Amino acid sequence: MPLLQLAKASAEQAESYLYDFSNLALEYAHGCFREKRFSRDAGHALRVIKGGRLGFSSCNSEGAFKSAVDAALRSASSSPQVKYDFPHAQKYQYMRTKNWDIEKLDEKFAMGCAMQVVEAIMEKAEPARVSLTFSFGKEEIENTNGLSASMDGSGCMVYAEAKKGDLFGFSYYSSPFLPKDFGALGKEAADMAAGMQDARPLPTGKYEVCFSPYCLSQLIDFLLFHFSAENVRRGVSALSGKIGERLFSEKLSLSDSLSAPASNIWPFDAEGVSARAAPLIDKGRSVGLLSDTYTSTRMGEEWKGNCSRANYSSLPAPSHSNKLVGIGGYPEHLASDYIYVESFHGMHTSNAVSGDFGVQADIGFFIRDKGERFPVTNLLLTGNIFNLFNSITKVGDRQATWDDLIAPKVWFGGVQVVGPKG
């Protein structure tokens, strides 16, 4: 990269990063396509090490490379001195990360895919909104220590909302590849809306609860705040000084892996470190953290390849990629007398540091014996994320993939549920 060549003349070490993705976004609502938009998100980032100090800058055109080098050097001059090196050359595993039908960003093809969702919804309900986004592009990382990584990738995101009177249902899909059946996404949303007919409240009490992948993914994301090595280093994680201790249910094993076949599959992380599995919880014991190379170096730990960039103008930081929950041995069809929560909201208002949360469940079902069920709504679920993941009663015997989560069903006991009458 020309940016790297410019930077290496003035710094001991340098790293250049390129992100270049194009997107096609469609939205169907009120009986027609209300939005059709092409966009491109592209830019360069530069990190340098000068005098043992780390500097950073970014730009969105090659004409600004010289200014970016000067800005990175100025940034380094005011940074703390740390013994740190950029990653060295890596070997990367081949991964399938793109779909050629998506690469074309063909508007007619995308509209046809969206209409399959719409038509499936219309068989049972009214399509409130269907959003579809195709994306395709590349990511490149190169540094002066011999590391060179480049990969093309694609993405498909579909969100569907269905209404049946005042009732609501939805479905969501995110993957590097097209779904096998776009119509199945519309059917899922319509079935959910229709299934909420005659929803009833539940009395306040403690219940066994199983969360949908949509909800379980959010709960794990909330928990992973404490698995950030940077948060541990800063002392704001409850895991500080407790790595190796059993803090969770023995039924829980959790790992992070860029190479897992889920929505964030990629052969390297945002610094070019090769993808690998990172165990976080093993049978209830905390065994690892998510870290970038800078934080790992400061903590004296091995590089793990667990970082991402919010965008090209952001520094790499510890982050999860694909979340893997270990399989259990419980036959899922035998479960009874529990609440299955399809959807909740309010997680963003919870306290990540303390782990306390409260969410409003608007779509759910109470599952009786032999699969009989009735819809429930307007439930407030409260608790602490550490207590929740220490109260697992059973783990299913089959894994399913949803977005960046690969997990079986997980049941939690003694969850506090507040009904509409308190």
Q: What is the pLDDT tens value at each position of the chain, 422 positions in all?
A: 699 999 999 999 999 999 999 999 999 999 999 989 999 999 999 999 999 999 999 999 999 999 999 999 999 999 998 888 999 999 999 999 999 899 889 999 999 999 999 999 999 999 999 999 999 999 999 999 999 999 999 999 999 999 999 999 999 999 999 999 999 999 999 999 999 999 988 999 999 999 999 999 999 999 999 999 999 988 999 999 999 999 999 999 999 999 999 999 999 999 999 998 999 999 999 999 999 998 888 887 776 778 999 999 999 999 999 999 999 999 998 999 999 999 999 998 999 999 999 999 999 999 998 778 999 999 999 999 999 999 999 999 999 999 999 999 999 999 999 987 65
What is the reported pTM? 0.94
Identify the domain boundary among 194, 215, 241: 194
Question: Is 264 found in the same domain as 410?
Answer: yes
Cβ burial, residue 83 (10 Å; 0-12/13-18/19+) = exposed
Residue 421 confidence (pLDDT): 66
Question: Which residues 6+ apart lie within 8 Å of 345 measured at CB?
Answer: 359, 360, 362
Question: Which residues 6+ apart lie within 8 Å of 318 measured at CB?
Answer: 228, 229, 230, 231, 289, 290, 291, 292, 295, 306, 307
Question: Is 212 found in the same domain as 324?
Answer: yes
Cβ proximity of 209 and 339 under 8 Å: yes
Cβ proximity of 264 and 321 under 8 Å: yes
Question: Is 170 found in the same domain as 64?
Answer: yes
Residue 420 confidence (pLDDT): 79
Total domain count, the chain? 2
Question: Is 365 found in the same domain as 336?
Answer: yes
Question: Is 354 found in the same domain as 286?
Answer: yes
Range of the domain at 368: 199-422
CATH number at residue 153: 3.30.2290.10
Q: What is the amino acid identity at position 24? A: L
Sheet of strand 53-59: strand arrangement: 53-59, 32-50, 13-29, 126-143, 148-164, 167-175
Residue 174, token pair as written in the block: 């995110």
Alpha-carbon 194 to chain mean position: 29
Identify the domain boundary among 179, 194, 209: 194
Residue 136 confidence (pLDDT): 97
In the 8-state DSSP scheme, what is residue 57? E
Question: Is 300 found in the same domain as 162?
Answer: no
Q: What are residue 365's DSSP bridge partners? A: 340, 375
Identify the domain boundary among 126, 159, 194: 194
Question: Is 125 found in the same domain as 19?
Answer: yes
Residue 127, token pair as written in the block: 């399509």
Question: Is 255 found in the same domain as 132?
Answer: no
Distance CA 193, CA 363 (A): 9
Residue 296 confidence (pLDDT): 85
Residue 133 neighbours by CB distance under 10 Å? 19
Q: Is 128 helix (H, G, I), strand (E, B) or coil?
A: strand
Question: Is 150 found in the same domain as 231?
Answer: no
Residue 422 confidence (pLDDT): 56
Distance CA 107, CA 335 (A): 45
Question: Is 227 found in the same domain as 164?
Answer: no
Question: Is 174 found in the same domain as 227?
Answer: no
Question: Is 178 found in the same domain as 208?
Answer: no
Q: State which H helix or E strand residue 193 sits in.
A: helix 182-195
Question: Strand runs (DSSP E) across 254-372, as ranges?
Answer: 254-257, 277-282, 285-286, 307-308, 317-318, 323-325, 338-345, 356-367
